[in-house]
Structures are given as C-alpha cells and as structure tokens.
Amino acid sequence: MTYGGNQGGYRPPPPGRRPPRGPRQHQQAGMMPVPGGGGGRPPQSTRVAPRPGQQPPPPPPDRRPPAPSRSPRRRRPSFGKVLLSLLLVFVTLLGAVWLYLEFSINRIDALPGDYEGRPAAAEGTNWLLVGSDSREGLDEDRMAELSTGDTGGRRTDTIMIAHIPDNDTAPTLLSLPRDSQVPIPGHGTNKINAAFSFGGAPLLAQTVEQATGLRIDHYAEIGFGGFAEVVDAIGGVEMDIPAEMRDSKTGVVIPEGRQTLDGAQALGFVRMRYSESTPRSDLDRIANQRLFIGALAGEIASPATLLNPFDVVPLLGTVPDALTLDTDDHLHHLVALGWAMRGIGDGGVVTTTVPVTSASAEQWDPGKSEALFEALRSDTPVPEDVVME
C-alpha cells in the first residue's frame, strides 16, 4: 500500500542503503550554570562612550607587580682622576706656603741707591750674604746656651758674595775676611765689618761694592738665634770633624769624628777661631763657614728633609724670623740662590776667599784679587791660581 503516492510524501530508502548525512555541526560545550551565579558566563564589562565635552575615564591601573629595582653600580674613580686630585692638593698647599713665606720674611731697605762712582751692572747676579752677631730676641739663658757673649750692638761675623753667572760657568761663593782693611765711605779706612756697625746693611753694601767693583743685586742676613733655629729645625747637620775643636775664648768644645751638630754646636763651629784647630784664625774660620754652608744646603735639599713633615714644617716656621732680605727681594730670588748654591758640597760651586797677603787677612793681594773680581764681572772661570782656601 502506498501512502500519499509520489506527492512529496516519505519514500523509504532502498533496502541496503543508509540515508545521506548532512554536514556535521560542532556543538559548543556549555557550562552548567552555577546555582545563584546568574548564568554560566561572566558578565561582560560595558564601556559607555563619554558624553560630548566629558573627559574620557582614565585607563585602569596597571596591576602587574613592579620589576625588581637594581641599585646603580658605583664607578670607581680612575687613576688619572686620583692623580689629578692629589696634584691639585699639592699645588694648593705649595701656593699657600709660598704666600706665607713671601709675606712673612723680614725685609729692610738694605741696598744703597745710586751714588757717584757706583759700579755698573755687569754679567751675572751678586748676592751679599751677611751673618750678623746680633743677639736681638735672645734672653740670657739662650745667649749662654749659644755662647754668644753679651756684647751689644750689631756686627758681622760673616761676609760673603754669592755670584750666579748668566752662562754655564760655575757659581762662586766668595768670603771677605771681616778684618780686611778697606775704605768705608765717610769713615776712612777701617775693618770691613765696621761698616755694618757704622751704617748697617746699606753702608756695608756700598763699602763692598767700592772695594770689589761688583754691583750688589740682592741682600740676605741671618743672626745668631736664627742660624741656630734653622739648624735645630732640620734635626741638626752631619759633619766629619777631623780633630777636636776647643775654643779658648768661648769654651765651646766639638769632639773629633762624624757627628750631628745641633744649633749651638753649629754656631760654635762657624765662629771658632781661637783654637789649635784654627791656626790661621779668621782664614780657617771662614773656610769652616763655607764647609758648613755646603753641608747645611745639602741637608735642607735632601729628600729625607723635604719629604719629612716633621722637618719641613719647623723649617718653614723658622725661616721668616731667621732671615732678612732687601725690600726688592722676593721668594723666587731666594729659590734661585739656593738652586745655584746646591753644588757647594760636591764641588759644583767655586768656594774661595779674597786673596790676602798674610794670615792676619787684613790686606788683599791687589793683583790676584783684581783678577778674581774681573772673572766675576765678566762671567768667566775664576783662575785657579787665585783660588784660596
């Protein structure tokens, strides 16, 4: 029996055949609603567009945890920066010391002005170096310690000319015996050290200029107390004494052998002339003075002194009161003098006394002394036959 014929009714498939399948539909897995949860999906946030003229809402805050911060690495200063800093400190300290000395050193109007017959300026530079026997500033105990005696007034125990050439000729340190008989302007002929008593440094400088024909450019003076303080400030000066020295006048005794002389002993050494060790009296004394100056200069210039603050600081403290310069002299002039005289101890400086005719050292040998002065005026080597110990 057929129901509905072929008018769109259901026609059973032929035997042995299955009806065709349509495209497979993937069914999404649904989530079971949680009781009371309002459905299986979380509610979607809805952003409402801002009204006209209204500022948009700020973005939501970043809820991510912040990244761990790293402490900045400290950069070590380079060797060059450290060296530059040390150099700046050294230059600043040097400048401070320089200014302190420049404005603290005693100064006097020591050199004479132009006068009739004054020697013309020649080659090189000439310093007049004076060791005064002034006891100014010394109390009785200190004078007894230094064996200075109590003589009043001011005289010169030491008179020297330091000549610094303008060429490569060796510098010269020339001693003028204090008993030398020379004309003193306004006072006739007298011992050269009397000029200092009559008219101080200016008259002494004029007397030296006229007697030698050398124009004096710079002046430096040191007294008894200042000399001893400088020696003590650097811890003494090492000397090799060939034989015991015993001064019959002052009572100073310096034993034989290598030793370090303190200020009092050093002063006794450079002043001693009444002893068996100084048979030529003043000539031996001034020879010892040049010898000690060489040892003192070497001691001051040695690294052991310059790099030791326990020596340098006391030394700088004593220089202003111990030394007196001319009003036109400055610290750089003094440094130039010290640099030129640094070779006294090793023979780099010619050391001599004005040639004299006798052991009394009162009269200069006219021929030899003039040859010596001419060599200094012209910056030529000093003839060996005029060099006198």
Q: Encode pLDDT of 157-187 as tens digits.
A: 899 999 999 999 999 999 999 999 999 999 9
Concatenate the DSSP letters of all residues of 7-63 into one string.
SS---PPPTT-PPPP-PPPPPPPPPPPBTTTTBSSPPPP-PPPPPTTPPPPPPPP--
**φ, ψ of residue 315 in degrees (nearest 5):** -65, -45
Q: Encode pLDDT of 331-340 as tens digits.
A: 889 888 888 8
Q: Higher-confidence residue: 167 or 53?
A: 167
pLDDT band of residue 3 (cuts 50, 70, 90) is very low
DSSP 364: B
H or E stretch including 294?
Answer: helix 282-301
* 160 strand-pairing partners: 129, 175
**φ, ψ of residue 340 in degrees (nearest 5):** -70, -35
pLDDT of residue 137: 55
**Stretch 16-36: mean pLDDT, rounded?**
52
- Number of neighbours of residue 365 by Cβ within 10 angstroms: 16
Cα 145 to the center of its chain, rounded Å: 32
pLDDT of residue 29: 46
Q: Higher-confidence residue: 249 or 139?
A: 249
Among 35-44, 95-104, 173-182, name the one with the lowest average pLDDT: 35-44
Spatial separation of the C-alpha atoms in residues 147 and 300, rounded to whole Å: 25
Tokens encoding 101: 């000395």
H or E stretch including 141?
Answer: helix 140-146
**Sign of CA pseudo-dihedral 184, 356, 227, 294:** positive
pLDDT at 212 over 90: yes
pLDDT band of residue 5 (cuts 50, 70, 90) is very low
pLDDT of residue 42: 54
Average pLDDT over the chain reads: 82
Q: Encode pLDDT of 190-208 as tens digits.
A: 999 999 999 999 999 999 9
| pTM of the complete model | 0.74
Spatial separation of the C-alpha atoms in residues 369 and 354, rounded to whole Å: 6
Q: Higher-confidence residue: 310 or 135?
A: 310
Radius of gyration of the chain (CA): 50
pLDDT of residue 251: 87
